[in-house]
């Protein structure tokens, strides 16, 4: 029979499988810190568990609660006291703003009345010193209101201009959005003058030889006054002839291209009667009559 090899005994036992995890084992076996456990046991032996039970501790806790309640009460009382003062100051500020606004409106009315008075005196002076052609001079300068036959031309932005549309115009490097530009209104007005218009207004603003059509952002200004689309142009003259001449002119064709290419809306119609106001601001300059100058010149050479 084969003999089994003898079992060798060793003096040292084999290592535990968790020998490499001694720190984790220590934490699991001693989850409560020794010092903390000792302090807890000592307090339990002395009968001091939970909240402090000594008289001093109770008095300190009560004093803290009373102090906190006092602070809250004082804050609430202070807010209640200052609330009417703040409301009063706010009302005083509102009253002051309303008073100043009313004073500004009153001053503006005085300015408008004085401006109208000055304009009326300027018109009378222009008519008085215009001689035989006083009425014509007043008409051409925009000093007087005008009533007569003419045309009505309405120019408006394209629909849905905020969504954009069309491409850049050839005369501009900016992307076109279907809005009427200041240069468009300049060409329209110049085309009407060249077609025989005697007087022109845009959205109630009378145009003169000194009028300027400019832009400020997307807004169109006439004599520094902003206009809102649609732009209504009234022109005094022979209605049918003026309308036909304008549409056949280069500026009329330009407006037609804007309508076809950029969807800008336009319409023109003859009117039996249109009313144009006088120019709001008129500058009267002193001039020497031509006849008097010729007379003086002849007298000097004789």
Instruction: Tell me which of 153 and 17 has the higher pLDDT.
Output: 153
pLDDT number for residue 301: 36
How is domain 146-276 classified at the CATH fold level? Answer: Alpha-Beta Plaits (3.30.70)
| Whole-number Å distance between alpha carbons of 239 and 270 | 5
Instruction: Tell me which of 121 and 45 has the higher pLDDT.
Output: 121
**CA atoms in the 13 A half-sphere facing the CB of 62:** 7
pLDDT number for residue 143: 72
pLDDT number for residue 224: 85
pLDDT 10s digits, 50-62:
555 577 777 788 8
Tell whether the model's pLDDT for residue 107 goes beyond 80.
yes
pLDDT 10s digits, 154-192:
999 988 765 443 333 444 444 456 889 999 999 999 999
DSSP 27: H
| Whole-number Å distance between alpha carbons of 40 and 49 | 8
**What is the residue extent of each domain of the chain?**
55-144, 146-276
Q: Which residue has the tokens 């932005």?
A: 157
Strand partners, 61: none
DSSP H or E segment with residue 227: strand 225-227
Mean pLDDT of 84-111: 87
Q: Considering the entire predicted model, what is its pTM?
A: 0.52
pLDDT 10s digits, 219-254:
899 988 888 899 999 999 998 999 999 999 999 999
């Amino acid at each position: 029979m084969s003999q089994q090899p003898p079992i060798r005994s060793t003096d040292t036992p084999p290592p535990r499988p968790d020998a490499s995890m001694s720190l984790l084992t220590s934490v699991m076996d001693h989850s409560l810190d020794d010092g903390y456990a000792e302090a807890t046991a000592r307090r339990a032996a002395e009968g001091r568990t939970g909240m402090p039970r000594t008289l001093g501790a109770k008095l300190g806790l009560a004093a803290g609660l009373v102090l906190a309640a006092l602070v809250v009460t004082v804050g609430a009382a202070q807010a209640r006291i200052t609330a009417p003062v703040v409301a009063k100051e706010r009302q005083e500020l509102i009253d002051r703003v309303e008073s100043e606004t009313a004073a500004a409106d009153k001053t503006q009315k005085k300015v408008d009345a004085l401006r109208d008075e000055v304009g009326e005196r300027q018109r009378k002076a222009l008519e008085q010193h215009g001689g035989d052609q006083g009425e014509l001079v007043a008409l051409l300068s925009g000093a007087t209101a005008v009533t007569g036959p003419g045309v009505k031309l309405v120019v408006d932005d394209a629909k849905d201009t905020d969504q954009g549309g069309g491409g850049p115009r050839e005369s501009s490097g900016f992307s076109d959005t279907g809005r009427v530009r200041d240069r468009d209104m300049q060409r329209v007005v110049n085309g009407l003058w060249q077609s025989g218009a005697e007087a022109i207004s845009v959205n109630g603003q009378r145009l003169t030889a000194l009028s300027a059509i400019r832009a400020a952002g997307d807004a169109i200004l006439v004599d520094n006054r902003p206009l809102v689309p649609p732009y209504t142009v009234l022109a005094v003259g022979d209605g049918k002839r003026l309308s036909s001449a304008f549409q056949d002119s280069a500026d009329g064709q330009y407006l037609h291209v804007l309508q076809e290419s950029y969807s800008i809306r336009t319409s023109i119609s003859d009117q039996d009667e249109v009313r144009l106001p006088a120019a709001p601001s008129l500058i009267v300059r002193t001039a020497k009559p031509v006849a008097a100058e010729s007379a003086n010149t002849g007298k000097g050479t004789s």
